[in-house]
Structure 1
C-alpha cells in the first residue's frame, strides 16, 4: 500500500494540466477569513487548503484518491498492511568491497519466474569458485537476508559466489517458500525446479566448481533447502538448515502449521537426499518447534545407520551457550552437524541487526555453515 501511495505521489502518476491562465487579482482583497467569491478565488482557496505533498505525503495521496472518486481509506489499509507484516523495508545497502558485485538476475521455466541477487566476491578473476544458494524466510528479500546473515562478508573472505532467489508476494502472500505444497515437493516441478534452475544458470554463466554447490535457508527457506537438496542430490553437495523442517513434513497449510507447532509425527524418508547436512535451531523457538531440527538430522542420517555422534558444548562470550553434535562415518567422514542454541528463538544465529530475524548472541551460523561445506567437498 505504501508503494501505491508513492506511485500516486511520484513518477507513477502524471497529471496533465491545461496551460496556466493569467490570475485575476482584486485590488481590494477580502479579509483573511472571508469565503471565496469568484472562481479564481475558489481555486486559489482549494489549492491553499490542499495538503502539501512534500510535508504531508499521506494526506496528499488521500486527497488525490478522493478527488479521483476512489473510495479507499489509505491510512487504514496502510496500518493493516504494516500490522500483517506484508510491508518490508529493505535495509540500507552496505558498501561493497572494491571489486565485489551484488547484481540482479532472473530465471524462468515452465513453473514460473523468480528474480535473484548474486554476490560476486572481489577475489573473483575468472577462476572456479564454490556456489551457495541462500533461501530467505517469510517476509524477507535478498537484500534483507544478505544483510542479516552477513553471508556476503563471509563469502568475501572464503571466496564463494552466493545467490539469493527471491520469493515474491504474488507466489505467497508472506513471501514464504511454499514448502508445504505437494507440487513443490517434486523433482522437475514447482519452486524446487526454479531454485535448481537458478543454480544451474549461475553454473553455466560463471566458472563454478560443480563439486562445491550448496543450498541453505532459514525457516520456510530452510524447509525448502531440505526439499531442493533432497530432490537434486547430483547438483547440491551439502545442505544447511536454520530453523527449518524435514522433507515432505506437510501436504497443505493445516498440516504445515501442525508440523511447525509440534514437529512431524512420522517424517517421510528423504528419498535420495543423503548429502552432508548442517542444522541450526534455537531451543526457545516458538515459531518452528526445535523438534523439527532433530527430525531433519534423523531423516538425513537414516541413510547412514552406522553414524557415530560426538557431542561438545560451548558458549558465545556474553551470549548463548550451545550444544554441537557432529555425526561421522566409521572412518571419520563428516555426515552432519546439529547445533542447538540454548535460549535462542526463531532467528539466524550470530546474525546482524541490519536484517530481520537475527540474533547476534548465538554462534555464527553463516561462518559455521561455510566452514562445514568446505570440509565435506
Structure 2
C-alpha cells in the first residue's frame, strides 16, 4: 500500500472536491488498488471499442465506449462494465473477458470511463454523495449511456445488467440500489456495500473495516436509495478474494447481508458449491428456487478481477494489473444472469410435480418426478443452470463435489422445444467431505469464517486451536477437515 493521508472534509464545491482527490493515492475513498501513486490508465483505444460522444447532458463528466458483436439481434441483453482505479475502458475490454461472451451469447457492452479530471486515480467516485445517487453526477451519466445504448442497439430493457471492479464495484452497488427499475442483475467484484461511505474518511473505514451493520440496516440503505414502492430487485453476484488487503473480505459479508435482506432472505446459504480456482460459491435462492444472491469467495486471491486465460468454454480474459489468474468471473456471472440462454424459457406446459431426491453418493445426485402430459422431454437445472435433458422422468447428475448441497428444478419441454414452468426446488447433499487448505492472515481467516477472535486473539473454528494475535501480520495455514472444522497445518497441508 502507498502512503495514507489524514481524512479531509468535503465541501459542496466541486472544485475543492477535485482538489482533494488529487492527493488521494493508494488507500482513501479513491480506492487506489495497491502501491503508491499510479498514473491514470490510457484513454480507450482498443480495436473493437467505439466511442459515443453524444449520449446526454453527462453531469458526471464521463466518457462512453461500446462494443457489440456483428449481427446483434434486436432485444438482446445489455451489460455495463465499470473499470477499477488506474484503469480505463480499454483495459477492461482487453482483460475482463466480457467481449468473449458478448460474441458467444449475443449482447452489447457499455464501458463507461472516468478520468483524472474527476479523480486523481481515475476512480469512479462511489463515495461521493453527488455522484452515487439516482439522477445525480456520475450515476446519471451512466444511466444516460444505458438509454443511448438501448436506442442504438435495440436492447431489451428487461435485461440490462451492470458489473464493476473495486471503485467500479462500489459504483455498481450504488447503481443497483438507486436504479433497481433499470437493472435485472449486477456483479460486485472486490467491492463494497451500497452507500457504505459518503466521505473520504468513511471510505477508509469501509475498505479496511466495514461497519458491522445488521442486515436490516444495510438493506435500509438500498431501500432508501430506490424509488418509493420498489418491490422488484436485481439479482446480485458478489466476488471477493480472501487475501484482498485493499478491500477487506469482510465487505463481502456485509454485501451478502445487504442484498439478502433486500430480497427478504436469511443469511444462511441455500447451498454451497466448490468451483475451480479455489472458489467457494454460496447461493441464496428466492422463494421460487432461483438464485437471488450468489457469493464467490476465492481462496488466496488478492485485490482484482478474477480471470482464467485460455480457450476452454469456461475460460476468459487475460492477466494484467488487477486482473488475476484464478477463475473466469465473467463466465460465471453471465450464467448467473442467464445470458447463456440456458435458463428455462416459458412454454405452455405446467411444472412437473413430485420432484424428489432418490439417492446421493460422494459425486452424484439422483432425481425423479411425475410425468407431464404433452412433454417430449425434460430439462434439469442445477442452481438455475441446465445440466441435463432426458426423455424419462429420472436423471442423475454427476461430477459433483463431496459434502455439498445442490438445488435442483425441472421443466417439461414440448414438441417445439419450449420449456414450460419450472418445478419447485429440491436440495440434494452429496456424501463425504473434501478437505481444503487455506493460508492467510489471522484477520482474513476470521473474516472468511475459518476462525474467530476473542479478546484480541484468534482461534480456529471447530478445533478452537490458538492462532495468536488477531491482526493482518500473523499468518497461518488452516486445513478444513469437516464442515465448519479447521485445524492449524503450518507444517504442511495436503488434500
Change (3 A) 1:242 1:353: same
1:329-349 CA-to-partner distances (Å, cap 9, x unmatched) read 232022111000010010111
The equivalent of 1:47 in structure 2 is none
The correspondence for 2:113, drawn from 153, 166, 186, is 166
Alignment of 1:139-218 (within 5 A): 139-218=86-165
The correspondence for 1:363, drawn from 319, 324, 327, is 327
The correspondence for 1:86, drawn from 39, 49, 52, is 39
The correspondence for 2:272, drawn from 295, 312, 316, is 312
Give the SS at the match of 1:363: coil
Segments of structure 2 that go 5 or more residues without pairing to the other structure are 1-34, 309-316, 346-495
Alignment pair present for 1:342 and 2:295: no
The equivalent of 1:118 in structure 2 is 66
Alignment of 1:216-365 (within 5 A): 216-266=163-213, 267=218, 269-271=221-223, 272=226, 274-307=233-266, 309-316=269-276, 320-351=277-308, 352-360=317-325, 362-365=326-329
| CA RMSD, 1 decimal | 2.3
Change (3 A) 1:250 1:91: closer
Return the alpha-carbon distance in structure 2 between the equivalents of residues 91 and 252 of structure 1. 29
The correspondence for 1:105, drawn from 44, 47, 52, is 52
1:298-343 CA-to-partner distances (Å, cap 9, x unmatched) read 1111123345623334243xxx311101111232022111000010
Change (3 A) 1:84 1:234: same
Displacement over 6 Å in runs of 4+: none
Larger proportion of strand: 2
Change (3 A) 1:83 1:276: closer
The equivalent of 2:492 in structure 1 is none
Return the alpha-carbon distance in structure 2 between the equivalents of residues 253 and 306 of structure 1. 32
1:161-190 CA-to-partner distances (Å, cap 9, x unmatched) read 011000111001101010111112321111
Change (3 A) 1:89 1:234: closer
Give 1:114 deviation, angstroms. 1.9
Change (3 A) 1:354 1:363: closer
> Greater RCO between the two (CA within 8 Å, min separation 6)?
1
1:59-90 CA-to-partner distances (Å, cap 9, x unmatched) read xxxxxxxxxxxxxxxxxxxxxxx962114357
- Using the size of structure 1 for normalisation, the TM-score is 0.70
The correspondence for 1:131, drawn from 62, 72, 78, is 78
Return the alpha-carbon distance in structure 2 between the equivalents of residues 176 and 244 of structure 1. 13
Give the SS at the match of 2:61: strand
Return the alpha-carbon distance in structure 1 between the equivalents of residues 243 and 173 of structure 2. 22
Change (3 A) 1:346 1:331: same
Paired residues of 1:276 and 1:376 also in contact (CA < 8 A): no
Moved more, 260-269 or 273-282: 260-269
Query: Is the radius of gyration larger for structure 1 or structure 2?
Result: 1
Give the SS at the match of 2:222: coil
Return the alpha-carbon distance in structure 1 between the equivalents of residues 111 and 166 of structure 2. 15
Paired residues of 2:61 and 2:118 also in contact (CA < 8 A): no
Paired residues of 1:219 and 1:242 also in contact (CA < 8 A): yes
The equivalent of 1:3 in structure 2 is none
Give 1:369 deviation, angstroms. 0.9
Moved more, 296-305 or 235-244: 296-305
Larger proportion of helix: 1
